[in-house]
Amino acid sequence: MGSRTIGVSVAVPEPYGSLLQRRRAGFGDRAAYAIPSHVTLLPPTEADEDLLPEFARHLAAVAEGGRAFPLRLSGTGTFRPLTPVVFVTLAEGAPDCARLQERVRSGPVSRELDFPYHPHVTVAHGIAPEALDRAQCELAAFSAAWTVTGFALYQQDAGGVWHTLREFPFGRPPGAPAALPHQYGTRPGADAGGRLS
C-alpha cells in the first residue's frame, strides 16, 4: 500500500474559521484556502495507508475518553525569527490541547515534534516580513471563544489542499469525570465498518 499525508486538529468554527482564512489570504499567504483554520494536534505526517484504520480506532478511543473544554483566542504572536509565522494566541484551552495532542500522538501513527508543542492558529506563514508585521498588528485585537467538542482527522491531497476524513466527537460533556483508559479496538462501532472513507 501507499502512504498519505495526514494531520489531526481542532477546527476553528464558523464564522471565525472563514474570517481568519480571508484575512490570511489578504496578507498574501497563498496557502490560506488550502488549510482550514485550526489548532494542530498532529502536524502533517506521512502515514502508511494500512495503518489508517488502526489509527482511526485509536482516535475514536481518545475522543471517547475526552471531555469538551472552552477555548478562547485573543491577540497575536509570532515564531520569528525561528520561522516566518504569525499566529492568533490561545488565551484559554492551551493545556487541554497539549494533553490532547499527547494522547493523539501516542497511537500507531506517532510523530516526534520539531519544536516544543505550542498550540496556536496560524494566520500568516512564509510571506514577506512587512506582510507578517501587518498580520500581527491587524489581528492583535482579534478574539473568539467556543467550546471544543471534538477534533478531526485530515488528509492533504496532491494539490496541497487539506480535506476532512473523519470527525471525532468527545464522549463526555464539560465537567464530566475522567473515563477509564480505553484499549485499542475495543469500542464496537468506532467507525462505519472500521474503515476510512
Model confidence over 143-184: pLDDT tens digits?
999 999 999 999 999 999 999 999 999 997 666 554 433 332
Angle between helices 16-26 and 129-138 (to 10 degrees): 150
Give the span between the Cα atoms of 74 and 5, in whole angstroms. Answer: 30
pLDDT of residue 110: 83
Q: What is the pLDDT of residues 56-97, one digit of tens each?
A: 999 999 999 999 999 999 999 999 999 999 999 999 999 999
Which domains are delineated in the chain? Answer: 3-169 (3.90.1140.10)
Distance CA 18, CA 20 (A): 5
- Which is nearest to 9 in space by CA: 153, 170, 166? 153
Written as nine digits, the cell of 145 is: 471563544
Mean pLDDT of the chain: 89
Q: Which of 102, 118, 99 is nearest to 110 (CA)?
A: 102
C-alpha cell at 15: 464564522
Q: What is the value of pTM for the model shown?
A: 0.86
